[in-house]
A = this chain, B = another copy of it.
Amino acid sequence: MKILIVGASGTIGQAVEANLKAHHEIISANYANGDVKVDLGDPESIRSMFKAVGQVDAVISTAGVAAFSGLDDLTDLDFQTALNNKLMGQINLLRIGKSSINKGGSITLTSGVLSREPMHGSSVISMANGALESFVKAAALEIDSVRFNVVAPVFVKETMAMMGMDTGSGLSANDTAKAYIAAVTGNMHGQTLDAPNYL
């Protein structure tokens, strides 16, 4: 398969690429580098990316920026950035990209467990994740030719270690990648894949 990974330079993106590249042609897309550059906050940039890349069999997004901060510390800009980038960036990847997917292919986005299991400081991220999961479930009802799914990672052990957190409740990036592989190679459509269920 020819697979476009958006956000390929991130911790999860790198692990997904490492798991797929032996058997598939990978095209990496990032904001600042990669085979092709893309700014998810700009629909024109997404259109340019698909024009440059052409038809693919799968798109995987492991991208999306959102603030982790207490409710009273969050600014209007924190909400706008999450909505423009993590939410609408990924939704536009699906809206714009679905015509560039070969029949039977798939688009896999990234939400996170914080939509359903929030914690202090997660309200903006929970908002964006919940929106993505409900959107993908609804969008999948209307389209049969391309499968849409969203992977909900838990905290990634490598990120937790970098932040000085106890990594006990996390999942390694390599283990998290397995949910993305399942979404690309499986038959699910309109599903939220909780990463710990795909080890």
Is the interface on chain A under 10, 10 to 19, 20 to 34, or 35 or more residues?
A: 35 or more
Complex Cα distance, B125 from A70, in Å, reads 27
| Shortest Cβ gap from A126 to chain B (Å) | 4
**How does the 8 Å CB contact mask read for A167-186 relative to B, with 1 for contact and 0 for none?**
00000000000000000000
Given A71-B143, A91-B79, A141-B118: A127 in contact with B123 (beta carbons within 8 A): no
Q: In chain A, residues 124-149, which have Cβ atoms closer than 8 Å to a Cβ of chain B?
A: 124-135, 137-139, 141-143
- Name which residue of chain B comes closest to A121, CB basis: B142
Partner of A79, one of B88, B116, B128: B88
Residue of A114, A125, A133 most packed against chain B (CB within 10 A): A133
**How does the 8 Å CB contact mask read for A78-109 relative to B, with 1 for contact and 0 for none?**
01000100011001000100000000000000
A133 adjacent to B135 (CB under 8 Å):
no
A130 adjacent to B123 (CB under 8 Å):
no
Which residues of chain B come closer than 8 Å to A127, judged between CB atoms? 87, 91, 131-132, 134-135, 138
| Shortest Cβ gap from A127 to chain B (Å) | 4
- Name which residue of chain B comes closest to A143, CB basis: B71
Which residues of chain B come closer than 8 Å to A79, judged between CB atoms? 88, 91
9 tightest Cβ-Cβ pairs between the two chains A and B:
A130-B134, A118-B138, A131-B131, A126-B138, A127-B135, A123-B138, A130-B130, A126-B134, A115-B134
